[in-house]
Amino acid sequence: MTRVALRGIRSHLGRFLLSVLAVLLGVAFVAGTFSLRSMLSSTFTDIISSSLVGDAYLRGAQETAGATDPTTGAGRNRIPLALAEEAERVDGVRTVLPDLTGPVVVVGADGTAVISGGGAPSFAVGLHPDDPAATVVAGRAPDGADEIALESASLAASGLEVGDTTTVVVGQGLVEAEVVGEVAFGAPVAGATIVFLDVATATAAYAADGTVSTMAVYAEEGVSEAELVERLEASIDRSEVAAVTGEQLRTESEESVQEVLGFISTFLLVFAAISLFVGAFIIANTFQMVVRQRQREFAMLRAVGASPAQVFTSILVQAVVVGVLGSAAGVGAGVALVAGLRGFFASMGMELSGRIPLDGFTVLVSVLTGTLVSVVAAAVPARRAALTPPVEAMRDEVATHDRGSTVRAAAGAVLLVGGVVAVAAATQGVGDAGTVLGIGAAAVVLAVLLLAPAVVPPALGVLAAPVVATVRPLGALARGNVTRLPRRTASTASALMIGMALVGAAAVLATSTQASTRVIVENESTSDLLIQSATQAVPEEVVGQVAALDGVARADAVRVGGVAVDGDATFAVALPPGAFGTALDVRLVDGSFDSLADGAVAVQEQRAQDEDWAVGDELELVGALGREVVTIGAVIESRALGAPVVLPEDVFLTLVPTAEGSIDTVFVVATAGTDVAALREEITTVVQPYVVLSVLDNEAFADQLADQVDQVLVILYALLGLSIVIAVLGIVNTLALSIAERTREIGLLRAVGLGRLQLASVVTIESVLTAVFGTVLGVAVGVGLASTLPTVFADEGLSELAIPWGQLGVLVALAVVIGVLAALWPAVRAARMDVLDAVSYE
């Protein structure tokens, strides 16, 4: 039977190629995800092994903040800079190099800030003469505040050359500096912009308080890492300072990277699963139609002694071949996809590892996944073929029995009711609302898939009405063809329905997020202007310069940093107490804003409810600079200030060092009677030398936040587009197989006068009707489910429902285009059929 199965593929090769292509696309995503993750992992592992080359490290003993980063020590208490001299006196220590790192902005040759398109950081490093992690390959090391060196990739990205003069924003202000050297880092830096300063300048900028995050300790020859740590621990205050081996810190760093990459992999694999799920519809449809067309062949096999099991196995063998071929090609396509992504990232200045890993695990998982999907999708058609009575299959007209229709419809109805109830319960806050909503949404989608065959006749009767009325008699012929076998039409349209449901839901989510963001800005920001940075860090000096301008009543800096609140690591924001009621209109739930001027803190209402906090309770705050016990003075509800704890500015500065905190936004309030437009021009002139700063009004600020949502939406559309491409292949596949199945019918129509163009038009109308049906059904499901999100996630800031009718209309129009494109090849094939051959076709 294996030989019979392979002959079936060879004799009907065209029938299987689109199924192979569907598997290829889905598996390419799976293989590409694993390869991309491996490439990113190797890139960051190389960075870690190249930068953390110390034999041991000194760092804070206490975990203090939410932004833990083992490579810098952020999230731990700072340690005294003077400890370096003490550690150097320990027996077996060759040298100790404090980590002098902080944010920086360097202006490139084109006069704009050097910022990676991939969002990689820009930071400065104090270049120690003895640092083995960095090597000066051209020029020399910087010496003085007016000199810098650039990492090789950063130098190329900047367009500068050794000897050029540029502007650098470092520490508290602007510096005119000469590029005196190029420094090699030893590994791709993934798009980061790295500036090297001399030790004195870096110390003044990033360790002005006499503390650093970590120190690298290098051992004398013959001293192991473990021995070095033991000697260091014997000579330091272990309550505030911890010594760890270089291997331990490198391992922690790699684990941190793997955790982030794990999230990325999961995110991408979700879309791979969607693609394979959609591809399964194509495979199932292909085998259903092939089984229907080959029923006489199977009957003959049964008549000469083949058992149902053998027929079943022969079809599964074909599915295995489709799965293996598609998966093998998909692995290659996945590697090509990653290579393309690497080139794309490189064009944005984000250099990744030169290796594209393809290990046995990736190949095995990819091939097994594609093959399993193919076999499962073919199992039901194979069972139907095996159980079809030989006598019935050998008739001229094969009867189609769908004994499962009633059961399927009943199961769909039960799932639909259950899903709707779960969605309704989620909107009422029952249990974990997000989880309940997800379960309900999955049930609704599955119910619609099961009920789709029952919906096909009435729905397509309505959708086809305009065509039937205007394109006679072709419209009626096309409608009859797509409604004759509702299960086939539903299966074909369902693939497109899934993709369009996700696209429609994403569009509603994005538009609602934008609307919610605008409402937050309109309701809470009462400032006249805002200052923000493309690097998410406004220089401290700017706040004072703007506050000193005539016409500025207040310039309130919103500071962001990591702290631990009663032992739980989190983020906190800080701003002057006077900002409440002037720059920001925040709802006061309990307490008083005046208490913040006395050192009390404000907490968000939701966090207060979760932690059972109340006004007057004390909280222990731990930051990199120390500890503070504070009193809750106010309970607030603010979506603009997203952190759970809001600190007075002076309390924040006693906990979070400048190098580990940042000014996210500056709210500017104009004095009464000031021309805001003229003031904006003045502030723009002040911030212009800093290159990365923008001066916005509230409307422009809301537009900027909306643009960020659009950028995310573009990524989602690109990923979901793959499922739509696969769905288009499904329509092509179904039409092509349907034409083969209706060869004699087509010949008779041609014989009674139907022209080639008319026949092609019928096929095109069938395709368009199928595509529009799938799109309308999918958009209705996606929009309906997404419309509940603002109710369920109102506490997270998604408070407004906005339905993008224009975008949804574009999706329906796109369905028409999809239908036309999908019909091109099948329509041409049908039109070229020889009439006599078609009429005599058996």
Domain ranges of the chain: 1-74+226-396, 101-206, 448-525+699-842, 529-696
pLDDT score of 625 more than 80: yes
Q: What is the pLDDT of residues 31-86, one digit of tens each?
A: 888 888 788 788 778 778 778 888 999 998 877 654 444 444 446 788 899 899 99
Question: Is the pLDDT assigned to residue 703 strictly greater than 50?
Answer: yes
Nearest CA among 654, 652, 613 for reference residue 634? 613
For the chain, percent of residues with pLDDT exceeding 70:
91
pLDDT band for position 516 (cuts 50, 70, 90) = confident
Q: Binning pLDDT at 50, 70 and 90, where does residue 683 land?
A: very high
781, two tokens: 């499901």
CA-nearest of 574, 533, 582, 521 to 555 is: 582
Render the burial of 53-70: b for 16+ CB within 10 Å, e for the rest: bbbbbbbbbbebbbbbbb
Q: Which residues pair with 603 in a beta bridge?
A: 635, 645
DSSP calls for 629-675: EEEEEEEEE-SSS-SSEEE-HHHHHHHS-GGG-EEEEEEEEEPTT--
**Closest of 411, 402, 395, 396 to residue 380, by C-alpha:** 402
Q: Which two tokens stand for residue 833?
A: 């059929």
Name the least confident of 7-21, 113-127, 139-153, 615-629.
7-21
Q: Please tell me the distance from the alpha carbon of residue 482 to that of residue 408, in angstroms, as a whole number.
A: 20
Residue 119 is predicted with a pLDDT of 60
Q: Out of 209-223, 739-753, 773-787, 822-836, which region has the weakest mean confidence (pLDDT)?
A: 739-753
C-alpha dist (Å) from residue 75 to 114, 124, 237, 564: 27, 19, 19, 9
Using the predicted structure, report yes or no on whether residue 627 has a pLDDT greater than 70: yes
Q: Count CB atoms within 10 A of the CB of residue 111.
A: 10
Residue 520's pLDDT band (boundaries 50, 70, 90)? confident
End-to-end CA distance of the chain: 24
* pLDDT of 292 higher than 80: no
Name the phi and psi angles at 220, rounded to 5: -75, 160
pLDDT, one tens digit per residue, over 715-763 is 777 777 777 887 887 788 777 777 766 777 778 877 877 888 888 888 8
Lowest mean pLDDT among 225-239, 324-338, 349-363, 639-653: 349-363
Residue 839's pLDDT band (cuts 50, 70, 90): low
Give the residue among 218, 112, 65 at the shortest CA–CA distance from 693: 112
Cite the beta strand spans of 671-734 per DSSP E: 693-696
Residue-level pLDDT at 566: 84
Beta strand pairing status for 122-126 and 626-637?
unpaired
Beta strand 173-184 with 122-126 is unpaired
Q: CA–CA distance from 354 to each of 36, 187, 539 (Å)?
A: 12, 10, 36
Mention every residue, 6+ apart, whose C-beta is less than 8 A from residue 819. 731, 764, 767, 768, 769, 770, 771, 772
Q: What is the pLDDT of residue 175?
A: 87
Give the mean model confidence (pLDDT) for residues 359-384.
85
* Mean pLDDT across 382-397: 68
**Is 347 exposed, middle or buried, given 0-12, 13-18 or 19+ CB atoms closer than 10 A?**
exposed
Residue 141: what residue type? A
Query: pLDDT band at 10, cuts 50/70/90?
Result: low
Residues of the chain with pLDDT > 90, as a percent, come to: 23
Before 657, cis peptide (omega within 30)?
Answer: no
Tokens (6 digits) for 143: 């010496």
Sheet with strand 214-219: strands edge to edge: 93-98, 214-219, 56-60, 241-245
